[in-house]
Amino acid sequence: MKGSPLQIDFEKLWKEGMHNWHGEMPERMVNDALEEAFWSQSIQKKSYRQTDAHTKPIYEKMRKHIPENATCLEIGPGWGNYTFPLREDVEKLTLVDGSESVLQYLQQYFIGDEGVQYVYAKWEDAEVEKHDVVIGVNCYYRIYEMNTALLKMNSLAKKRVIIGLTTGPIQPHYVVLDQQYGYQIKYPRRDYIGIVNMLYQLGIYADCEMLPLERTYRYDTYEALYTAQSKKILNETFQLEDVKAALADFITEENGEIVYHHKFYAAIISWEPVDR
């Protein structure tokens, strides 16, 4: 069948999607020092146990796949969006991350907790034992050999593998800028559906649940709004009036702030590990 998923190399598409719109690999994808600097700077801005608001409903959906008294391995915990609630629900938690800053940040919240272990390594290189559950949310952006990474998740899970990815659609004014004004837009180049299809080609028939979410952007000035919401325009120059016109139908003023509501989704992909 022409165009059959069996004839498309989805891992190759994933790899191509790691390149930017000029066909170049972004330095942060291959420069470990630059990636470490990003996480170090990001964590310094965090308040006590600060997490992202939209992660709560995502975790509640993932939670139903986590057995009681389970051991859990979390890949790429970041600043703990899912780490903190996971620790309340699992017997043992192992955190694998390639950033020392991330692990040091999380360690301060689990002092004396022998149920939390830390592995400083990229997922590709990590040497860890099997756990009941292997979970990773939005942590795949630097993984090049994705098939190998997915198979490793499968092999190290006794009961369940859970993948979470936030996904589109892109903020709607960018679609207007593309379709009505002809601008080149930085659309996402990799998405959850690529992972679902890679799993399919690996012989893993995963469940996939879509969770509708909404993010609210708030700005004190229109200048700040226009600056923030034009960053995905790829053209070297653009007309500010076009950006204003594209945004007009999507913004409101509330209590002295300019507000932009953006509806998007999270994909929750999970499966029972299969023998291979």
The pair of structure tokens assigned to 160 is: 């369940």
Whole-angstrom distance, CA of residue 270 vs CA of residue 160: 7
pTM over 0.75: yes
| Beta bridge partner(s), residue 263 | 214
What confidence tens digit (pLDDT) does each residue in 55-113 have?
A: 999 999 999 999 999 999 999 999 999 999 999 999 999 999 999 999 999 999 999 99
With cut-offs at 50, 70 and 90, classify the pLDDT of residue 3: low
In Å, what is the CA distance from 80 to each residue of 118, 158, 169?
13, 23, 25
| CA distances from residue 256 to 177, 218, 236, 253, 259 in whole angstroms, order as listed | 27, 10, 32, 6, 9
- State the Cα–Cα distance between residues 202 and 153, nearest whole angstrom: 13
What are the start-end ranges of the E strands in the chain? 71-75, 92-97, 116-120, 131-137, 157-167, 207-219, 251-254, 257-271
Q: What type of residue is 169?
A: P
SS (H, E, C) 98-135: CCHHHHHHHHCCCCCCCCEEEEECCCCCCCCCCEEEEE
Superfamily per CATH, domain 5-167+188-214+265-271: Vaccinia Virus protein VP39 (3.40.50.150)
Q: What is the pLDDT of residue 276?
A: 74
- Compute the radius of gyration of the chain from its Cα atoms: 20
Q: Distance between CA 267 and CA 190 in Å, rounded? A: 13
What is the longest distance spanned by two Cα atoms in the chain? 58
Asked if the model's pLDDT at residue 27 lies above 60, the reply is yes
Name the nearest CA neighbour of 274 among 173, 168, 117, 156.
Answer: 156
| pLDDT over threshold 80, residue 254 | yes
pLDDT digits (tens, 9 = 90+) for 152-208: 999 999 999 999 999 999 999 999 999 999 999 999 999 999 999 999 999 999 999
| pLDDT at site 152 | 98
